[in-house]
A and B are shown apart, each in its own frame.
Chain A
């Protein structure tokens, strides 16, 4: 089954400079492990919500807004698409992601 992992940061959690410095290498290690086992199909980091633009079309008018569609403490910082046997495996994979230790990860199954 395919799952989308939404990697979210939690602004209410404050990290020490040392913890912050460790994230890139830990994430890289996770990516390598999941790529080599064929679980991770695709993934990337996203620019912060400040750089987002929200698009709506109403009455044939394109309406644009600066920023994300919802202001929340948790911000989507990246995503990974993974192919797993079942939800248990997907949850294991998500729990191993370094961001899970201070942010949160939403695991969503693909429609099909």
Chain B
């Protein structure tokens, strides 16, 4: 097979897998059958395309082959319910090479699929895995690897989730208006979680898992296209792009974290940044001010600052203040304290961090002592900074972040050591 055809099949897989599965589920209500028939269709493409050439509309070709395959299997299977068979048999089989295939546009049903995958009656982990499996076409092995879990565990969870969709009667649809805002934010939450899982791996030694980030961006892009009137979908995509633009500069060759301040900004992906700016502009045209819009606006302040010193921290602090109203979260308040520290000096930031620490809400969260340590370091209270770095180190899990904290701690200890030596000299 030529590389061209192989690449065409790979491209079709990326672009069309979710669409084919979504259409097949809509037609058969059987998730497993839909996936198997989609797989068959791609296997068929690997055989047929080198021989017959790549069809003009690969998606329509694949959907037709998958649909015919499903029809075939349902006709043969006596165990399927009569009602299901009836629904399917009404659709006549089609010739994928037929003339209608070149013109027919198959409606994109992925929105129904994504809302069903992200249904709040499913456990969060299953929502993430189902989305990756059915929409992005990752295998259970790939999903297991991405989340560093054992494959059988993942596979079992996927099976259970699909069973619940069927047995509990989770509808395959875009939710009606009264449920839509809440469910949309659920879908956005799953995609952002996916992105963050890739961006800051919660465990293991690699800080960034690019594949997951790329999948999350691809899914967010699809969602933004499918929901053109939803500004939060555009804002989420913009937010991901702003973060992703820094993926190369964010860690050094040994995998250590480089803070925003110290990153080489010439490495930032300007294409992604300008796409993010355009998306955010379009999203901000609506009245609605959702949490992703505000977060994207914050990310834009960083992404578009020519140097770290040019960062508009005053605006960022105001945006975090606004964000804390939209999502009452102590982590958001911690970020607000950081921004205040940058805009109005470390003492002002420390005051807010200490107020937050006093509530005890973020006990056990390593970024609380880590933030406190950075502010103390900037004020020059090195002993206290060292103590806070030590506490953060006790709590941090990600190895790259632990190395960063250990580096800072060492810096503090040697600085403190110098001071002590100086003190000794003066008294001696």
> A residues within 8 Å of B by Cβ?
1, 3, 84-88, 90-91, 109
A109 and B119 alpha carbons, distance in the complex (Å): 16
B53 at the binding interface (Cβ < 8 Å)? no
Give which listed residue, A3, A88, A109, contacts B171 with CB less than 8 A: A88
A54 and B213 alpha carbons, distance in the complex (Å): 53
**Could you tell me if B169 and A1 are in contact, using CB atoms closer than 8 angstroms?**
yes
Within the complex, the shortest CB–CB distance from A96 to chain B, in Å, comes to: 13
Within the complex, the shortest CB–CB distance from A83 to chain B, in Å, comes to: 11
| A88 / chain B contacts, CB cutoff of 8 Å | 170-171, 175, 179
| A85 / chain B contacts, CB cutoff of 8 Å | 171
Please judge, given known A-B contacts A88-B175, A88-B179, whether A109 and B169 are in contact too, CB under 8 Å.
Answer: yes
A86 and B165 alpha carbons, distance in the complex (Å): 10
B427 at the binding interface (Cβ < 8 Å)? no
Known: A87-B171, A109-B167, A109-B168. 4 other contacts (CB 8 A): A86-B169, A87-B169, A87-B170, A88-B171
A91 and B175 alpha carbons, distance in the complex (Å): 13
**Could you tell me if B167 and A86 are in contact, using CB atoms closer than 8 angstroms?**
no
**Could you tell me if B168 and A87 are in contact, using CB atoms closer than 8 angstroms?**
yes
A109 to B, closest residue via Cβ: B168
Pairs A-B, 5 closest by C-beta atoms: A86-B171, A1-B169, A86-B169, A87-B169, A109-B168
Within the complex, the shortest CB–CB distance from B336 to chain A, in Å, comes to: 33
A111 to B, closest residue via Cβ: B167
| A84 / chain B contacts, CB cutoff of 8 Å | 169
A3 and B121 alpha carbons, distance in the complex (Å): 14
A68 and B168 alpha carbons, distance in the complex (Å): 27
A90 and B171 alpha carbons, distance in the complex (Å): 11
- CB pairs A–B below 8 angstroms (22 shown): A1-B169, A3-B169, A84-B169, A85-B171, A86-B169, A86-B170, A86-B171, A87-B119, A87-B121, A87-B168, A87-B169, A87-B170, A87-B171, A88-B170, A88-B171, A88-B175, A88-B179, A90-B169, A91-B121, A109-B167, A109-B168, A109-B169
| B179 / chain A contacts, CB cutoff of 8 Å | 88
| B171 / chain A contacts, CB cutoff of 8 Å | 85-88
A7 and B167 alpha carbons, distance in the complex (Å): 21
Within the complex, the shortest CB–CB distance from A64 to chain B, in Å, comes to: 33
Interface residues of B in 133-188 (CB under 8 A from A): 167-171, 175, 179
Interface residues of B in 165-220 (CB under 8 A from A): 167-171, 175, 179
Within the complex, the shortest CB–CB distance from B176 to chain A, in Å, comes to: 8
| B167 / chain A contacts, CB cutoff of 8 Å | 109
B121, B168, B169, most chain A CB atoms within 10 A: B169
Within the complex, the shortest CB–CB distance from B411 to chain A, in Å, comes to: 48
A88 and B170 alpha carbons, distance in the complex (Å): 7
A109 and B167 alpha carbons, distance in the complex (Å): 7
| B119 / chain A contacts, CB cutoff of 8 Å | 87
Within the complex, the shortest CB–CB distance from A91 to chain B, in Å, comes to: 7
A109 and B164 alpha carbons, distance in the complex (Å): 10
A85 and B179 alpha carbons, distance in the complex (Å): 15
A95 and B175 alpha carbons, distance in the complex (Å): 17
| A87 / chain B contacts, CB cutoff of 8 Å | 119, 121, 168-171
A91 and B167 alpha carbons, distance in the complex (Å): 15
Within the complex, the shortest CB–CB distance from A4 to chain B, in Å, comes to: 12
B167 to A, closest residue via Cβ: A109
A16 and B174 alpha carbons, distance in the complex (Å): 40
| Mask: chain B, 86-122; 1 = CB below 8 Å from A; 0 = not | 0000000000000000000000000000000001010
B121 to A, closest residue via Cβ: A87
| A3 / chain B contacts, CB cutoff of 8 Å | 169
| A109 / chain B contacts, CB cutoff of 8 Å | 167-169
| A91 / chain B contacts, CB cutoff of 8 Å | 121
Within the complex, the shortest CB–CB distance from A51 to chain B, in Å, comes to: 31
